[in-house]
């Protein structure tokens, strides 16, 4: 999406990104249950409540960043950074 200059490229990038994230939810639930056992119910409620903060804040932050820098590509670097952080969290064994 960062390097696309036409709407079809942006749509294709959004589709690939959405399909890529669709596998993270079941993996996260399985790892949460495996790691915390019965306590996963209590911890899961907090984790999934916090999970709504990212989708609420990142679009707003993309808009602020792209407006202040004058570049949508700079704004879209934020979701890229969030993706890298999520990948790091899933690769590490806490």
Same domain flag for 92 and 67: yes
What is the DSSP code string of the chain? Answer: -TT--SHHHHHHHHHHHHHHHTTHHHHHHHHHHHHHGGGHHHHHHHHHHHTTHHHHHHHHHHHHHHHHHT-HHHHHHHHHHHHHHHHHHHHS--
The pLDDT score that the predictor gives to residue 94 is 56
Q: 14 lies in a domain?
A: no
Q: 4 lies in a domain?
A: no
Number of folded domains that form the chain: 2
pLDDT tens-digit series, residues 38-85: 888 888 888 778 778 888 899 999 999 999 999 989 999 998 998 888
Q: 7 lies in a domain?
A: no
Which residue range is the domain that position 35 belongs to?
22-51
Same domain flag for 81 and 64: yes
Q: The pTM is what? A: 0.58
Q: 17 lies in a domain?
A: no
């Amino acid at each position: 999406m960062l390097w696309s200059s036409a709407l079809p490229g942006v749509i294709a990038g959004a589709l690939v990104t959405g399909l890529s994230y669709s596998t993270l939810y079941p993996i996260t639930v399985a790892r949460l249950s495996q790691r915390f056992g019965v306590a996963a119910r209590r911890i899961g409620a907090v984790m999934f409540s916090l999970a709504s903060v990212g989708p609420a804040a990142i679009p707003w932050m993309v808009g602020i960043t792209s407006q202040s820098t004058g570049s949508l590509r700079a704004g879209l670097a934020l979701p890229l950074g969030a993706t890298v952080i999520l990948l790091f969290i899933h690769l590490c064994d806490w």
